[in-house]
Structure 1
Amino acid sequence: MALIKEFLLGGQSWITAFHIIAVVSWFAALFYLPRLFVYHAMAEDRISIERFKIMERKLYRGIANPSMIVAVALGIALFSIYPNYFLNSGWFQVKLALVLLLIVYHYSCLYLLKQFRDDRNTRSHVFYRWFNEIPVLMLIGIVVMVIVRPF
């Protein structure tokens, strides 16, 4: 265990860098996927509908899922370096709550993707335009917690 902690401490900058890269990739996917849902909900021809299904599936499986897994894994690695500090920091607890909500949002996107895949979407493009704003609010909250650390 001491060897793992020593490695983590020595590689903390690398872990942080790759954590940030994974978070940026994850958010990029979570910004773009609901935008595809907007266009998919507006599509009327079969060719466009099928194209959106492919794009949504590839974005979710190829970028969103791997990015989320790496971001969470590296976040856990960073947490494990100084767990007592993080557990006793109010800003971290708020950030963690926002990340958990982001994971719920991520899986909500999967649910909606399956609705589109099965041609069972009942929501309008307006719903998806509003749905697309949720990760923006979470990003603002997470960045403020990590950089400003208001409490």
Structure 2
Amino acid sequence: MEYNHIKAIHIIFVTSWFAGLFYLPRLFVYHTEANQKPEAERQILQKEYKRMQKVLFNAIMVPAMWLTIITGATMIYWLWWDSFASQSWLHLKLGFVLGLVGYHFYCRKLIFELREDKFRFTGFQLRLFNEVATIFLFAIVFIVVLKNTVDWIWGIIGLIVFAVLIMSAVRIVKSIREKKT
């Protein structure tokens, strides 16, 4: 296979991985908020959310993560290995990817806690947690596209502003919901 084939496959698996990273924390929200339902409904919902979380994580997210890492490492080996040290944008991107892998495994930890009916976080806290993957996506895409230091500085400032805006939006939606009820 040539480099562009690996790159296309990499993008497909990144997309699949992020789909799971966006949806799994939303399932955590629903799972946690099912505690407010009547007993019979709560038991049915929580059993289903446990099943959905397990299948999503094991059947989609784990393979997509590993295939993302393998294809990414292949691209680094083929194209950038000789000049890897001079590709500082790539080092920054890989730092964010490591953070994303950490987020992935923290989601796994939450799956195990929810399986044992341990609810450490509120639905609102999990809604905020749900936006972390969006912030990682934003950062990684801008680093890959811009690839220069001046743009990184503006990118980091933009990332901070974006994070504040997205977290504020979650709070605003929460307050609107509370006013309606």
TM-score, structure 2 length as denominator? 0.76
CA distance in 1, matches of 2:85, 2:122: 41
In structure 2, what is the Cα distance between the partners aligned to 1:105 and 1:48? 25
Q: Specify the SS of the correspondent of 1:84.
A: coil
Q: Does residue 72 of structure 2 align to residue 75 of structure 1? A: yes
Specify the alignment match of 1:61 in structure 2: 58
Following superposition, the deviation at residue 89 of structure 1 comes to 1.4
> What is the root-mean-square deviation of aligned Cα atoms in Å?
1.0
Q: Secondary structure at the match of 2:82?
A: helix
Q: Distance in 2 between matches of 1:29 and 1:48?
A: 20
Identity across aligned pairs (percent)? 36
Partner of residue 34 from structure 1, selected from 11, 17, 25:
25
Aligned length: 142
Q: RCO (CA 8 Å, sep 6+): is it higher in 1 or 2? A: 1
Point out where structure 2 has 5 or more consecutive residues left out of the alignment. Answer: 36-41, 150-181
The residue aligned with 1:51 is: 48
2:13 maps to amino acid: A
Counterpart of 2:15 in structure 1 is 24
- Where has structure 1 moved over 4 Å in runs of 4 or more? none
1 CA distance for matches of 2:144 and 2:120?
A: 38
Partner of 1:93: 91
* 2:115 is aligned with 1:117: yes
Q: Describe how 1:121-140 pairs up with structure 2 within 5 A.
A: 121-140=119-138
How far off its partner does 1:118 sit? 1.1
Please list the CA deviations of residues 90-149 of structure 1 after superposition, one character each: whole Å capped at 9, or x if unmatched: 211110000000000000000000000111122111111010111111101110111111
- Counterpart of 2:116, as a letter, is D
In 2: Cα distance, 1:141 partner to 1:129 partner:
20
TM-score after normalising by structure 1: 0.91
Unaligned 5+ segments in structure 1 are 1-9
Which is further off, 81-90 or 70-79?
81-90
- Residue 143 of structure 1 is matched in structure 2 by 141
> Residue in 1 aligned with 2:3?
12
Determine helix, strand or coil for the equivalent of 2:120: coil
